[in-house]
Structure 1
């Protein structure tokens, strides 16, 4: 085409300004070594002191992803942006690539070059010094709803659970749980909201569930129910996880899962594993399987009533447990336990990974 002659792209708009790419196959000027192609991006609309960051990429069209990239991005905003003062101002490279190398490269395909351009227009504003310092308190919406529950004011629905009555607010329950929403406001809603009976749930569990719905935190088991043993707290967390799944309270379900992961113990791990399998708690299930499969824990866990329940309620889990045991090289532990009814019942001297209760 000749030195100084170019091919221009269509204009495109970024940051409120028009831009265009200019490609000089024979170089922009003779004094800048016309053996190289030149590549520039230009401001194609009116503008004064437009600050911008640029990235020009010559695309590898062979599929090898060996692109040639020249980028301003990554530079500090104090010194990185280039200032274009008027329409036609350019930024780019006079010696972008040697023409002879370009003609035999993977950048050229069917007499076509593919160039990708990124533009970041820098917008600036000035802030004066702040004349105030206001400390913002944390959110206390849960405390407000919790106090509302404790006051008993405005309740419009009652639940009977295992002989106990719990008064609540329909709108609060519906906002927190899609199951309660369907039960209280859906097309198949309960007609008698004076007293809705809840089956298959113990009263303390439902009380803890309602506590979470209003307060958005797990209740203090000892303070709420007088449970002062880790075993009792673990048992409550198990029941509460099942209740959370029943009423589609995902945050509560995850909180219970995390609590149970922390409290894995010999006498509760089997029932926790069954619960994890039934309610698709993947991480809790993995923690339980790894704990049981440890050589120092396996025999003790298999002697618990919970392990019998696990075998009856979740047979596939036993297969997974065998796989974990096999990884630990404990094939003989299972075989020995099933082949000998006179197992050593002395559990006082066993070693366990975590505490027992």
Structure 2
């Protein structure tokens, strides 16, 4: 058996691969403590808590202890200290790893300072902000105990108008594994519409025909009945017509009827979205859609006509809107007429004064 050497091309070997991705999802919360002086003397272990905020899919609180936050009454520093913590509030099935940082706002109100840089009197085994730190339902709180002596805080630049403002930034560390799908097949666009168009054009299985402007067009009753309530009543309803083998369509161009059938079969009107489509054709197609109760096609035609209202088409489009109850088209045409009227008035006024 040949030895595998580092110089061999990995692409020639039979191997699998995966990628571990670790990212940090960050969020911040500003906690303002007004009336700081009134918090003194709350007692050892008593605290002030911020509102709950969410970062990385977990809920957190900022916890401030004005009197010795570790709850140790035997601590010689006693209630002369203040402490500051970040607490995991939500339940978690697995450990949560985070980075966190506290900033304090100075009296000017426009500069933030790192609390760790300013107050360096941390316990020897206190948290190091380089992290990440692990949180869970048992070990769910971490921070500075103490942050500093209360006298230091009160003499610092961070108390203004008896108010202390704290900004806590949390970065939740998340790791995911990206594994290539070896047997994944590329997704292709559906060709269902094209299949139905082929069915229409090939006449396969057709069971009725239409005569439009002397041209014979073949179709399928079941498909037409599924898409149009008018055709359904005509072919399958209690008052269905007896002779439906060849139906003569009056007052409609063959090209419009073909476009109507194309939409019925594949939900698309060829070239309707192209600029070259005649507004008159779109108007005729709207009439056909309304005639056979095909609401989606009717709405598409109305939207297209609204986008292309012009001086030479506004009158016919407005009349069409009135006849077929197209509220949006009617509104668009009236706004266009009013705007043109104002422009003509402004033009005539300008020429009169010129």
TM-score by length of 2: 0.49
Larger RCO of the pair (alpha carbons < 8 Å, separation 6+)? 2
Structure number having the greater helix percentage: 1
Structure number having the greater strand percentage: 2
